[in-house]
Amino acid sequence: MLEMMAFPFMQRAFLGGILIALMASFYGPFIVQRRLAFLGSGLAHGAFGGVALGMFLGQEPLLVAIPFTVLVAVAIVWVRSKTDLEADTAIGVFISLSMALGIIFLYLREGNASDATTYLFGSILALNNYDIYLSLVALLGCLASVPLWSRWAYATFDETLARVDRHAVMRDEYILLVSVAMLVVISVKIVGILLVSAFLVIPAACARLLSRRFVHMMWWTLLVNTGGVVVGLLASYAINVPSGPAIILVQSAAFGLAFLYQRFARSA
Amino acid sequence: MTSPVIEASNVTVAFGDVVALDGVTITTPSNSFTAIIGPNGAGKSTLLKVLLGLQRPTTGSVRVLGGAPEALDRSALAYVPQKKTFATQFPATVLELVVSGISGGWPWRISKAHRERALVVMEQTGVTDLADQSVRALSGGELQRAFLARSLVNTPQILLLDEPAAGMDMRGEAAMYHILCDYQSKHGATVMMITHDWEGARYHADQVLLLDRRVVEYGPAREVASEARLLSLFGHRGHVHETHAEGDSHA
């Protein structure tokens, strides 16, 4: 099995997957605890609009998708803050809008749009050095937001108390969602638009079932996410199935085990 | 009575056409215990939000410890919310909740000094044994005592409480009043509490503010929170006394 590591594309797959897993483990618990699980999908669809715009303009799709998706994230927070709409409604509106724009951009683009399917389904085995550098830059951004962990967690626990303690809750939420938007865009190449939210949601949901403290939830999320990448890639190589879905199946299996643990072992 | 700690001058808060507070003027000194009583929708919680700096008055001005509420040092003021608005599914222990009051952020790790400081106030409110308990597993009364411990952990000069006795049994309520009165006298603090328990307010508070969007009456507790006064102002005598009245009528 170890001979797989001799392939450069496999080395990039492990490195890229683990980098994404590290970042998703930092943001995922906030997404799950704020009931924004739908957000990952919403932003991924926003990324689709951005990728299609990049292709239409003849630019590097991910570089166009980043500001496009950040704009979608800002719009979701802004609409939520200015109306009585729930988050899922605001996200639903922007999913549809981004998809519609994406389809129009692809239609207007000359030539076939088959390369867009790369972004729909992703391919962790097709990562190049540029993707790895982009992930490393995103990781630096993630590390820069570590000091915000305590504020984000506090506002996640109780927004009113955070406001009383003079936290700029709205500003912090913008930063969180913009950071998640950037992560989503970068992850799109790995697992694709259709599955990208799995990195943010499944490990954190699994961790929630196992944790009594938020900080423990972060560590469990990290373990399931990185473990999912390593085991998923090994499994996909061994049984010759697509790598992205294999990673997500491993994460889902961990969720199933956590569910059974909580259901039976804890209550025993 | 010494210099004013809370000064609200002609404060009006309107949400569109709905006036929540109408020209409220109050002055609260240090080392005092004020109970706010009024019917539902009287603007009691809105008044606390104005004092906390969470709600700007439409007109009028507010000064807390001589400055704008928004500019107040967070450790000088503590707040116990009415409806516990926290995310019930958030994985948190009681100790973490109390420690969050010290730092004003969620604790990544709890230092020995913070743990010891938290345990002192948890002892006072009777939640020491619940330190490692999940917050969401607490009963209503336990939750109130945990939030009360959190509010005391910084030894604030001002304590604002929105119906802190909700969910407590009679013993818990008596203990809470004892803690608040003891804290006020020991630290010379200003305590302001919304309550529907006018008998408790009359007995424990120095002043009572009767509020019904505007100030109906504001003065010494024994004078303001009387049965006859409440009956004439609000058309009922409060839920505590109604129980007695029913008993009387059956007798």
Give me the interface pTM, i.e. the ipTM: 0.84
Q: Which of B86, B89, B107 is nearest residue A158 as measured by Cβ atoms?
A: B86
Residue A266: pLDDT band by 50, 70, 90 thresholds? Answer: low
Give the whole-number percent of chain A exceeding pLDDT 90: 57
Residue A219: pLDDT band by 50, 70, 90 thresholds? Answer: very high
pTM: 0.86
Question: Which residue out of B51, B89, B100, B153 would a mutagenesis test of the A interface target, given it has the greatest number of A Cβ atoms within 10 Å?
Answer: B100
Could you tell me if B100 lies within 8 Å of chain A, comparing CB atoms?
yes
Task: Give the model confidence (pLDDT) of B136-195 as tens digits.
Answer: 889 888 898 999 999 999 999 999 999 888 777 788 888 889 999 999 999 999 999 999
Contact B134 A212 (CB under 8 A): yes
Query: Tokens at residue B31, please?
Result: 């080392």
Q: What angle do CA B161, B158, B230 make, to 5 degrees?
A: 45
Neighbours of B137 (CB within 10 A): 12
Overall CATH class of domain A7-260 = mainly alpha
Mean pLDDT of A254-258: 96
CB-CB neighbors (< 8 A) of B91 in chain A: 208, 211-214, 216-217
Backbone phi, then psi, for B54, in 5-degree steps?
-85, -20
CB B160 within 8 A of CB B77: yes
- Where in chain A are the domains? 7-260
- Interface size, chain A vs chain B, as Cβ–Cβ contacts under 8 Å: 74
Dihedral, B234, B237, B239, B242 alpha carbons, nearest 10 = -140
Alpha-carbon distance of A268 to A262, in angstroms, equals 9
Could you tell me if B162 lies within 8 Å of chain A, comparing CB atoms?
no
Q: Which of B52, B92, B103 is nearest residue A157 as measured by Cβ atoms?
A: B92
CB A220 within 8 A of CB A206: yes
Q: Which of B52, B91, B96 is nearest residue A217 as measured by Cβ atoms?
A: B91
Cα–Cα separations (whole angstroms), residue B135 to A40, A213, B22, B144, B239: 28, 10, 38, 11, 29
Alpha-carbon distance of B221 to A125, in angstroms, equals 75
Question: Which residue out of B90, B110, B136, B147 would a mutagenesis test of the A interface target, given it has the greatest number of A Cβ atoms within 10 Å?
Answer: B90
CB-CB neighbors (< 8 A) of B100 in chain A: 154, 157, 161
Could you tell me if A166 lies within 8 Å of chain B, comparing CB atoms?
yes
